[in-house]
Amino acid sequence: MRVLVAPDSFKGSASASDAARAVAAGWRSARPHDTVIELPQADGGEGTLDAIAAAGSWLSHRVRVTGPDRRSVYARWICNENGSAVVELAESSGITLMPALSPVTATSRGTGEMLERALDSGVHDVQIALGGSASTDGGFGLLCALGLRAFDSRGRLLDDATAGALDAVATVDATGLRPPPVGGVVALVDTTAPLFGPHGAAYVFGPQKGAGPAVRRYLDDRLRHWSDVLAAAGFTADPSTPGTGAAGGVGYALLCWGARFTSGADHVMRRSGLRDRIPGADLVLTGEGRFDDTSLNGKLVGRVLQECESAGTPAMVIAGQVGVDAPGHAVSLVDLAGTVDAALAEPLRWLREAGAASARREY
């Protein structure tokens, strides 16, 4: 048999790469003569860099940039021989880098600094994975790192490129803004949220960044103001475009910079080689931390299942918890371990068990 193991990450428990390795090991323990190929996936957020890098020849660059709380952090970006670069926002501006959540003072500047380093190296094009951001600054920090200058009503240059400083921005000067690479910029998004409004960046993603109701209103007002300022400066990006609310509004900033949006899940499936391999496989194993109704509505696992259905390739789901019937068969780590706590305590063990159980059950 030819088996593809293509999970998303199990948030807080196992990366997609670790999950794929564990499931594959379990399958091989039960069926050692099968061909098992590990193709970890991502939806355009955390793990995208590793998922793409695992499928080709990429050179990794480690750089020091401004973290979301303005402390220095080390972050990676990758580039191949064709000059195609991949930047993952979570590496430099991710919520996991924050010792304490602070949506008003967090910045996306570090991601702009990574883009600047990529431009300095002469890359042809850039793919930037959005997701897992700490800030809701509308990409203020990112654009400033790329050369945008912001001024208050008295003409003073503003250095504090955070959401909390957006209301002080009266005008911007884009004459020093670096142009995108000649091959363009693709923003990988996993949301259709607009920049502001009840379904926008502040209201939808603010809670997970530590923003209570009052702070969400505060942030939403400032994102509206920010889009007005940029529009007055000649930027024509529409803040109601689906995806502009990605990564706390970084999607909007990238649209202003000339980026185009694409589905992160679809992009990773293509770049990792999964989409091309599905028709020739006998089985695809995919999975995530919790498989529920949202999984079938545009999330990575749902997209993998759709691709398998289109190709006529059987698929199975392995998840920490299974809250809805899956096409084919689903294995729950909680069911195998006996309790949620037991599954969380040893996720890789139970992923291996799930791989072995899947092999024994179906084949």
How many C-beta neighbours within 10 Å does residue 343 have? 24
Instruction: For residue range 92-104, list pLDDT tens digits in order.
Output: 999 999 999 999 9
Instruction: For residue range 6-63, list pLDDT tens digits in order.
Output: 999 998 789 999 999 999 999 999 999 999 999 999 988 888 999 999 888 899 999 9
* Mean pLDDT (the chain, rounded): 94
Whether the predicted pLDDT of 327 surpasses 90: no
pLDDT for 67 equals 98
Q: How would residue 270 be classed by pLDDT, with cut points 50, 70 and 90?
A: very high
For the chain, give the percent of residues with pLDDT over 70.
99
Give 65's strand partners: 73
Say which residues have a Cβ less than 8 Å from residue 176's Cβ, sequence separation at least 6. Answer: 147, 148, 149
pLDDT for 298 equals 66
Q: What's the fold here for domain 48-265? A: Glycerate kinase, domain 2 (3.90.1510)
Instruction: For residue range 55-88, list pLDDT tens digits in order.
Output: 888 999 999 999 999 999 999 999 999 999 999 9
How far, in Å, CA of 193 to CA of 185, rounded?
20
Instruction: For residue range 181-194, list pLDDT tens digits in order.
Output: 999 999 999 889 99
pLDDT for 294 equals 73
How far, in Å, CA of 73 to CA of 92, rounded?
7
Whether the predicted pLDDT of 332 surpasses 60: yes
Cα atoms found within 13 Å of the Cα of residue 98, Cβ hemisphere only: 22
For the chain, give the percent of residues with pLDDT over 90.
88
pLDDT for 240 equals 98
Whether the predicted pLDDT of 278 surpasses 90: yes
Task: Say if 2-41+272-362 and 48-265 have the same CATH topology.
Answer: no
pLDDT for 12 equals 77
pLDDT for 363 equals 59
Instruction: For residue range 206-222, list pLDDT tens digits in order.
Output: 999 999 999 999 999 99
End-to-end CA distance of the chain: 9
The whole-number average pLDDT for the span 302-329 is 89
Q: How would residue 362 be classed by pLDDT, with cut points 50, 70 and 90?
A: low
Question: If you classify domain 2-41+272-362 with CATH, what class do you get?
Answer: alpha beta
- In this structure, are residues 22 and 29 in contact, taking their beta carbons and an 8 Å threshold? no
Cα-based distances in Å from 315 to 31, 65, 306, 310, 363: 17, 41, 10, 11, 13
Backbone angles phi, psi at 5, to 5 degrees: -110, 110
Structure tokens at 343: 């599954």
**What ranges do the domains of the chain cover?**
2-41+272-362, 48-265
Q: Which amino acid is at 112?
A: G
The whole-number average pLDDT for the span 340-358 is 96
- Residue 7 burial class via C-beta count within 10 angstroms: exposed 0-12, middle 13-18, buried 19 and up: buried
Q: Which amino acid is at 7?
A: P
Q: How would residue 290 be classed by pLDDT, with cut points 50, 70 and 90?
A: confident
The whole-number average pLDDT for the span 266-285 is 95
pLDDT for 292 equals 82
Which residue has better confidence, 92 or 294? 92
DSSP assignment of 10-51:
BTTTB-HHHHHHHHHHHHHHH-TTSEEEE----SSSTTHHHH
